[in-house]
Structure formats: C-alpha cells, structure tokens
Structure 1
Amino acid sequence: MSDPAPGAAENVPAGPGVPLASARGRWIVLATVLGSTMALLDSTVVNVALPRIGEDLDADLAVLQWTANAYLVTLAGLILVGGALGDRYGRRRIFVLGVVWFAAGSLLCGIAPNAGILIAARALQGIGGALLTPGSLALIQGSIAPGDRARAVGLWSGFGGVGAAVGPFLGGWLVDGPGWRWVFLLNVPVAALCVPVALRHVPESRDPQAHGRFDVLGAFLGAAALALLTYALIEARSGSPLVIASAVGGVLLSAAFVYVERHRADPMVPFDIFASRLFTAVNLVTLCVYAAFGGFFFLVVLQLQVVSGYSALAAGAALLPTTALMLLLSARSGALGERIGPRIPLTVGPLLCAAGMLLMLRVGPAASYVQDVLPALLVMGMGMVTLVAPLTATVLSSVDPGRAGLASGINNAAARAAGLLAVAALPLLAGMGPDAYREPAEFDAAFGRAMLWCAGVLLLGAAVAWATVRTPAPGAACHPQCHTYCATTSPPLEPPRTAEP
C-alpha cells in the first residue's frame, strides 16, 4: 500500500470521510484489524498454552484460572470506560495507547519468571485490551465515508474472523514449537507494525458531544468487585478468613456499584436502560450462554491435552470447526433471525450448545477425534451460529438507536464478566483439586461434571429466552460485524453512532 497524500493524519481536511477504495481507507482497515486481532487472538491462544504454563512454572490449577481471569477482570471492568475515553480524547489516540499498553503487558507476560508476575502482566494486558477494543470499530465509524462503512466493518470482521479461527491452531503451534512464551511475545511485532500505521494514516476523530466526565468510581467498584468475587471462588477450597472476607467484600462492592450507578449524573452503566424488558431479557440470556462458553473453552483444551493425550497443536486445531462454522454461517443466521424473530434462535441455539457439551462426555482417554470430538464441536458450533448474530441484533434493537453503542458495550462486558466468573467457579463446582490437571483420571471425572453444569446453565438460558424474549420493533438487522463473527468469549461490539459531516 502507498498513501498518495502523505502527512500527519491530524491534518486530514474535513470532508465526507475517507473512501474505502483509497489507499488511506485500506490503511485504516489494516490498522484496526491489526489492533483488534491482538486482543481477539488472546482469547483463543492462551487457553491452549495453559497446561504447558502450569508445567513450566510448577503452578497449580488456581494459577491457570488466574492466567485466564486476570485479563478478563480488567477488560470487563474497563471496556466501557475505554470507549468513553476515545470519544472524548480522540479515538486514534486511545486506540494507539491501548495497543502500546497491550504490547507492553504481552512482553511482560512473555518474560515473566514466575506465576505472580505473569498474573499481574495479564491484568495489565486487560487494561490495554479495554482501551483498544472499542476503538477499533470506532475508528472505522469515525473515519470511513458513510457509504463505505458497512463494507469496511464487514472487512474488519472478516479478517478478525479468520484470525479467531486460526488462533487456537497458531497457539498450539507456538506452544509445541518455540514455547508458550511466544503466545504473548507474538503481540510485540504486531503492535510495532500497527502503531506507525495508525499514527501516519488514521485520521483522529472524537464525539463533539462528549463532556469529559468519567465514572472512575463506578469502573473501580465494578472491577474490584469482580476481582474479589473471582478470588473467593478460586480459593474457596481453603476456607480461610481471607476467602470469606473477599466474598463479603465482593458482594458489598457489587451493591455499592449498583448504588453509585443509580445516583450518578453520568454513570458508566445507566440503569434506566434496563427499563427495556427485552434488553434485560437478552442480557440474562447472554449471562447464561457466555458463562457456559467461558467454562467450556477453558476446560476443553485441558481435557484434550491432559486426558486424551493431544499435543497443544492438535488440541488447538481440534477447535477449528466451531469458529469455522461461525465464520461461514453467521450472516445466514442473522438473516434468519430477521425473518423469524429472535425468540426461536435464542432458544434453539443454547439447546444445541448444551447438546454439544453433553456429547463431550464421550471425550476421554485416547478419544477419537472423528468419532468423539468432532461431532460435539460441530453441534456446539451450530448452536453458537444460531444464537450469536440474533442476540446482538436484538440487543441493538431493544433500545433507542442513540444508545445502541452503550447497549452493545454493556452486553459485551456482561458476557466477559460471566465468562470469568464461570472459569473461577466451575472447577470448584466440579470438584477439581489444585493438582487435578496433573492427574488424568481425576481431571476426566471432574470434566464430565463440569460439562453437566455448563449444559444446565445453557438450558436455563434457553428457558429464559423462550419465556421472556419477544420480537423487537422492526429494524433488528444483522449488523455487518455479525456477518463473520468468530469470537467465543463475547458478542460483537457496535461502533458508536457518528454524525455524518
């Protein structure tokens, strides 16, 4: 690519936006794809590396849980703030800051000498992810010409979908080859390419109505409550006074978060948005399905490696059918949801996912991929295809158009919070001891119990959908970012609505 009009992006003249067909338009898409892919890959490659991380650092199961959850605590707690900061101080500026922050956290993860530093670095990564994730779509919305935005978002989503699909395979290859540290170190050269592209070619954009008042207290209370509850769940077996204090503190901070958000003039989560019964219903379904997904994808790669004897590469490649189905069929699922309404997809999708998890009970020692693993993942993938695009479209159509970005952010944060709490709670509920992942027979038995829990939560989600979800007002279309969406940890974000010049 070459830019026919080099110069500082800050000096791009006002106009109707950058055409996607121009060199600058392609650079904008490239920058957003590079940044968002860093965060998207993190959700797929790290789980594959967990057994090797535990072996190398001589860590117990709690460390593996924290390796996954430290990132999600800060990401879920701050993602709404990240979007607000971009609207006020410049979306490109906050996006670039997030990419640099994420890369620094990744570098620290890659060189971490012990579990404590690795967990702290993962929390730092989550802060970077909260800054860059909302900005990637917002840059397209604020920079690309209005007539080209849907196609640009589709390209962004398509490339991201391919990245998500190959992520587990790439993670497995790195773990079996150069080592698990390269799962994190790979982000550094990607960031080194992304940052100069963004600074040179991406125009700065802001929301002229953003006022600069941020709900720092609400963000702190939300993240702290998640952290304390997560700690209490992971360490619950010890029954120590610290665990009890953490549980009580988490509940109290959760109550304080609700109180603060209800009484602030400019809350991070305005609770009046839940006056929409449909929005509330769909978020309840989101909590159920993404809790099950979070627990499933955390445990399944451990099951394949610890019990079934798969290499990290084979375990990562085994998950390809799920994301491939989402990559290929999400658009058709969204179109179907438009025709028949969301109630049936949001009921049938969780039921199919539950069936897939029950089929995983067949995956044990020396499991055949074709006969045991593949059927479960295909059914699971079809369930995810059925529900994700209609879920997102229903969230966006359940509120006023001007609040679609806020509604999407809340839904995304809720999904991530549900996933991290599931990763914390599921080993406890399934009776996994601290060294279970080192004992194939013990882990296999606990994995079976965990799949029953996940299937039960999905059945609850299906029941909630059938009882509460109704067809929204006309216009619940499948948005471009849903067409090739492949992430398994959260529904897609909606870019903020930007006034056309």
Structure 2
Amino acid sequence: MSTNQTKTPSTGPGGPGALGADDGAGRRRPALWLLITATSVPMFMVALNNLVVSTALPTLARDLSADTQDLQWFVNAYVLAFACLLLTGAALGDRFGRRRVFLLGIGLFTAASVYCGLCDTTAELIAGRTAQGVGAAAVMPLSMTLLAQAVPANRRNLALGLWSAFSGLAVAFGPLVGGAVVDGIDWHWIFWINVPVCLIAVPLVLKVLDESRLAGTRLDLFGMVLATGGLVALVWGIVNGSEDGWTDGTIIGAFAAGVVLLAGFVAWEARAAEPMLPLSLYRIRSFVLCNAVSGAMYFGVFGSIFLLSQYLQIAPVRTPLEAGVLTLAWTLMPMFIAPVAGILTDRVGGGRLMALGLFLQAVGLGWIALAATDNTPYSHLVGGMIIGGTGMGFAFAPTAAVVLASVSQKLYGTASGANTTAREVGGALGIAVLATVFVRNGSAENAQQFVDGMKPAIWVGVAVVLVGAAAALAIPRTPTARPAADEPTPDETAPQPAKATATATV
C-alpha cells in the first residue's frame, strides 16, 4: 500500500473486513483482523508496562534497596510522562502524520525499555520509566485513531471491542509476565521482552496502515507548554502527596502551579486560532461524562491492583509468579467480555454498559475487602476477582465507542488523547490516595499490618468507582450531536504527500 495516502474505508461489503477488498484504486485492503493487530500490538506493549512492574515491586525493593516512595515512582514515573504528553502525542500525529508519530513512539518506547533493562540503580530505572512514558504517549491515542479511521462506521464498535480485548490481554498478562520473569529469570527481563514485540509491530504497521494527517494543521506550541506544565505539576503533586503529606508546602505549591497553568491553558485555548484541545468538546455531555467515568474507574481499579498485587505475595507468602497466576481470574476477564460489550454498545447503550461495568467492579473490590485476612485462602478471593474483571470488560469498549461517537472524525486523536489523559490521571491519583490511606492504617511490615492498611484503602476505591457508575448512567443513549464547527471539511483528512510534511512550517 502507498505510505503517503489515506484511504476512506468502504462501508459496504468491500470494506476492510475481507482480505482482497478493493479500495477503489485497484489495490487490496487488508483484512479487519490485520488492521486490528497492527494497531493493537503496539498498544498491547504500552498497556502491558502499566502493570508489568507492579508484581516485581517487592523484588525491586530488595535488589535496589528501594523505599516505598521509590516503588511508587517506578510506577508513577511512567504514568507521569504518559498522562502529561497524551494530548501532545495526538497533536503531533495530526500535524506530522499519525503513522509516522506512532512509529516514532514505538521506537522511543523500545529504546527506553532497553535502557531500563540495563539499569542498576533506582534513579536510572525512574529515568528509563519516564522515557518509556514519553514513547507510550504517542502510541496509545494514535492507536485508537488509526484503527477508527481504517474501518467503516458499521464495523467500528466491533473493531474497538476487539482492540479493547487486546488491552484486556495486556492487563491479564502484565502481572503474570512480571511474576514469571522475576521468579524465573531476573527483573531486568521484564523490559527486554518489549524488544521482540517492537520487531513484530514496526513492519506490520508499515505494511498495513496508511499515513494520515489533518491538512494545514499548525501546532499550538504555547498550548502544549501550558498543558504539559500544568499536568506535570498536578500529577507530580498527586504522586508525592502520599509520601510527603498533602499539606506539605511543596505539594501545595505543585497543585497551585498546576491549577494556574491549566487555567492559563483553558484561557489560551478559548482564543487560539487552532487550539490543541477545542473547548467545544466540553459542551458535549457524553464526552465529558466518559472522561469522568474513565477517571473514576482507573482511580478505583488500578489503585486497588497496586495493593492487591503485593497482598497476594504477602498473605500468605507466595512467589511473584504465583501471585501473577492468581491475578488471572481478574485480569483475563476483559479479554473475553470486551468484544461482547463492543457488539452490544449500539443495542444497549454505552452508558448503561459502563454503569454495569463499574458497578461490578465495585462489587468485586468490596468482596476482596471483606474477605481479606492475613492468611486468606484463594478460593475466598477468586469470586470477587472474576466479578471485578468482568466489570472492567464491560467498561473498556463502550468508553472508546462513546468517546469517538461524540466527536467528528478530525477530532478522533484529540478526543482519544483527552480521554486517556483523564484515565491515567485517575490511575495516578488512585495509587497516591489509596497508598496514603494504606500508610495511615497499616504497613508492609507483616501480613496483618498490610491487611489493616489495604482494607480501608480498597473501600475508598469502591466509593469512587460507584460515583463513576452514577456518572455513566447519565450518559445519553445516543451521543449528543456534535457542533457543526467540528465537522470535517472534505480536505481535512485528505492524503498529504510525504514531501509536504518535510517542508511544512510548524
């Protein structure tokens, strides 16, 4: 296929669902499964690294003499860079070519993984995880955008459901892969495994996906600086608040700086000729509520998994591999449920499915909180884990579908970046707040003290997830009509020659 053209998918029987379908220019379209694989394999690599480190935390604490704050930064350095640059990654893709920036993100992520695999100190590992997050910020939003543009509208929810299943597979394999590698080889190899994934992903992306960009787009550089600076200050305050204290002067100063910079960002975007994040998006009810749902889900679930992955190695004592295997009851469920949820989205309504998903997550987390002791048999926990994982599956695909249905095609990348930002900030806040509750009520000194801290922390997660479920119920059955100003003109997604990219002015 030409690497310099964007083809408009057919919505008829000759669409990308069948290998050999004609694209109107005498060329054959790739099969739907190839499109999904090409966009999902890099996303899988990025999502895997959200959790792969969690199971290795006790081992990292011993080998690197890391304290609790170091352990949080092994997770949150990645989240900080990832969450704060998602909007920038989407904007760069619109300007310079989505496939090109997607590939650059994959390359940077892999190079950072190699660096992490060579690290021997906490400072080096935190720096490497930060670089991984920068690469991931280009991969995640553009993965969804490239897929949504490559398939026709009548197949989009099915494609997003399968895409979400890949994400669920990464969630499933994260703790398992981390545990298996740490237990059987060495913790450095949890980063080396990204290299073969990249070697598969890059040629597949080049073969299957075409380049696309928004014609005449200019970068909102000042908006990027304000947004990135504000998010960095905000997330930095979040991830340090649990350790330094929420009333510490530095933490308050970080939050104040974040608020000022983000307020400046909103003011700038309101008058910018080509805003990085059009404020008209926040007049769309379904889009706003989806962001709230995503933030609440990640707050409760990922904050709880941060503690649960350690709990399963402590009460009773288990190896990292054993703990990773036991988490499969939770983490495998989205892989099976997400495709079904994608198919049901149009029939049932994305908001209803998200509400069901978050309610089930709350039930699963509550079950674990009630059952947890200093020596709980796994059989007493597995039911709650299955219910919680089923809830995650019902939330993933409908969220992606409703976000994209709420905006015009030219805003797919921006909307995806904004939603993923809300999700990742929610996850970082969840880990920080639940870790604060944990430290105030218990410690990691022994199993009983760990349970004493974990139980109240998980109940906080349950409360936030239920708030998200209520927000999901308020999402309209059919997304609100998008503003006319957001509709793409015929040339907004037109193919651009490679030469134009090299000579265009930012």
Q: What TM bracket, shorter-length normalisation?
A: 0.7 to 0.9
Is this contact kept in 1: 2:45–2:170, CA < 8 A?
no
Mark the CA change 1:473 to 1:451 in structure 2 (over 3 Å): closer, same or farther. Answer: closer
Write the distance in 2 (CA, Å) between the matches of 1:30 and 1:464: 32
Q: Which residue of 1 aligns with 2:372?
A: 363
1:373 paired with 2:381, answer yes
Matched letter for residue 467 of structure 2: L
Is this contact kept in 1: 2:172–2:328, CA < 8 A?
yes
1:132 paired with 2:139, answer yes
1:292 paired with 2:290, answer no
Q: Which residue of 2 aligns with 1:66?
A: 73
Q: What displacement does 1:340 show?
A: 3.7
1:338 paired with 2:336, answer no
Q: Which residue of 2 aligns with 1:21?
A: 19
Mark the CA change 1:307 to 1:257 in structure 2 (over 3 Å): closer, same or farther. Answer: farther
Write the distance in 2 (CA, Å) between the matches of 1:469 and 1:41: 29
Write the distance in 2 (CA, Å) between the matches of 1:213 and 1:220: 12
Mark the CA change 1:292 to 1:450 in structure 2 (over 3 Å): closer, same or farther. Answer: same
Matched letter for residue 471 of structure 1: R
Write the distance in 1 (CA, Å) between the matches of 2:338 and 2:153: 24
Matched letter for residue 476 of structure 2: R
Is this contact kept in 1: 2:158–2:342, CA < 8 A?
no
Matched letter for residue 462 of structure 1: A
Write the distance in 2 (CA, Å) between the matches of 1:469 and 1:183: 39
Write the distance in 2 (CA, Å) between the matches of 1:283 and 1:138: 17
Mark the CA change 1:381 to 1:161 in structure 2 (over 3 Å): closer, same or farther. Answer: closer
SS in 2 for 1:38: helix
Q: Which of 245, 262, 285 is residue 270 of structure 2 equivalent to?
A: 262
Q: What displacement does 1:308 show?
A: 2.9
**CA displacement 1:421-457 (0-9 Å, x = unmatched):** 1112221133358x93343322211101111111111
**CA displacement 1:170-196 (0-9 Å, x = unmatched):** 221101011211111211233244335
Write the distance in 1 (CA, Å) between the matches of 2:339 and 2:481: 16
Q: Which residue of 2 aligns with 1:188?
A: 195
SS in 2 for 1:472: coil
Q: What displacement does 1:140 show?
A: 4.6
**CA displacement 1:189-247 (0-9 Å, x = unmatched):** 33244335545675433333533444322332233223432244133339654344334
Q: Which of 368, 382, 386 is residue 390 of structure 2 equivalent to?
A: 382
Q: Which residue of 2 aligns with 1:480?
A: none
Write the distance in 2 (CA, Å) between the matches of 1:244 and 1:455: 27
Q: Which of 89, 101, 114 is residue 107 of structure 1 equivalent to?
A: 114
1:79 paired with 2:75, answer no
Mark the CA change 1:95 to 1:445 in structure 2 (over 3 Å): closer, same or farther. Answer: same
1:472 paired with 2:481, answer no
Q: Which runs of 5+ in 2 are unaligned?
A: 21-27, 483-491, 497-506
Q: What displacement does 1:76 show?
A: 1.3
**Where in structure 2 are the equivalents of 1:158-177 lying within 5 Å?**
158-159=165-166, 161-177=168-184
Q: Which residue of 1 aligns with 2:23?
A: none
Q: Which residue of 1 aligns with 2:286?
A: 278
Q: What displacement does 1:112 show?
A: 1.8
Is this contact kept in 1: 2:233–2:257, CA < 8 A?
yes
**CA displacement 1:79-135 (0-9 Å, x = unmatched):** 122122122212232122111110121122222221122112111101100112233
Is this contact kept in 2: 1:165–1:320, CA < 8 A?
yes
Is this contact kept in 2: 1:351–1:462, CA < 8 A?
yes
Is this contact kept in 2: 1:228–1:249, CA < 8 A?
no
Q: What is the percent sequence identity of the aligned residues? A: 33
Q: Which residue of 2 aligns with 1:483?
A: none
Mark the CA change 1:381 to 1:277 in structure 2 (over 3 Å): closer, same or farther. Answer: same
Mark the CA change 1:302 to 1:227 in structure 2 (over 3 Å): closer, same or farther. Answer: same
CA RMSD of aligned residues (A): 3.5
Mark the CA change 1:401 to 1:439 in structure 2 (over 3 Å): closer, same or farther. Answer: same
Q: What displacement does 1:64 show?
A: 1.4
Write the distance in 2 (CA, Å) between the matches of 1:307 and 1:138: 43
Q: Which residue of 1 aligns with 2:420?
A: 412
Q: What displacement does 1:10 show?
A: 4.2
SS in 1 for 2:69: helix
Q: What displacement does 1:311 show?
A: 1.7
- Per mean C-alpha deviation after superposition, the further-off stretch among 219-228 and 105-114 is 219-228
Q: What displacement does 1:294 show?
A: 2.0
Is this contact kept in 1: 2:284–2:480, CA < 8 A?
no
User: Number of paired residues?
Assistant: 471
Write the distance in 1 (CA, Å) between the matches of 2:458 and 2:95: 44
